[in-house]
Amino acid sequence: MTTPASAMTRCDVLHEDRFLIVVNKPHGVLSHPNPKSGKPQTSAFEGSYDADRRCFKTAAGVVWLLHRLDQDTSGVLLGAKDEKTAAACRALFEAEQVRKKYLALCSGGGALKPEGVWLDHLVTAHERNQVRSTVRHGQRPNAEAKYRVLERSALHRILLIEVELITGKTHQIRVQAASRQIPLVGDDVYGSFELNRKLRKSILAKRLFLHAHQLSLKHPASGQPLTITAPLPPDLSAVLEAAGMKAV
């Protein structure tokens, strides 16, 4: 019997079967709680979280968290309903056999080529309960992403891009874009404070424009291809429309 999704998650369910549960995580919701926070937190799945096993103990059973999205990022988040399935999925992630595509709105990208590959060496530092990554030049790349431009707007040279992560580093898309002088709209860590202020007024861009749009993998039980797509949230669609761009 399939475990009822409503007892496992507070998010909209994009796909569910005997083995997997895939949800659409909203902006502002954690993938899992931070035990060092000391504050009430809202996370994607219900119940207590076991950080060592990376799973939630919900009233309807255990859900293993298979990857993470930053709190400010919305979109596809994958969970498993049993430990064997979790191990199989994690092996797919480690073998880079899971395709993860994001939609990102960047500024200052008038000269960006229609498509390409970003290769960088990223270093992550933890300071004062904050995490920040930087690009370190002259070292062997450990972060790879493919991008393609979907649409351009003359307004602040804004462009909508689709990014496929080959690796999964902390804040990878945000850091790689900012290092190329095309910071993500609404990025209050790596972006431009002044530009973000202007865009809040002109196109109602009130938060980070980064959405985990699509995830594809071989189903761990059947071996059949599985692709899950999360629609762009209404607030981000409204930003595109205000910029004179087509909603995705």
Radius of gyration of the chain (CA): 18
Q: Report the DSSP beta bridge partners of residue 148.
A: 115, 162
Is position 82 annotated as part of the catalytic site? no
Q: Catalytic one among 17, 50, 70, 72? A: 70
Instruction: Tokens 């949230």: give the residue.
Output: 233
Q: List Cβ neighbours of 52 (8 Å cut-off, separation of 6 or more).
A: none
- From CA 172, how far away is CA 117, in angstroms rounded? 13
Identify whether the C-beta of residue 202 lies closer than 8 Å to the C-beta of residue 155: yes
Identify whether the C-beta of residue 228 lies closer than 8 Å to the C-beta of residue 15: yes
Q: How many CB atoms lie under 10 A from the CB of residue 54? A: 15
Instruction: Give catalytic residue positions.
Output: 70
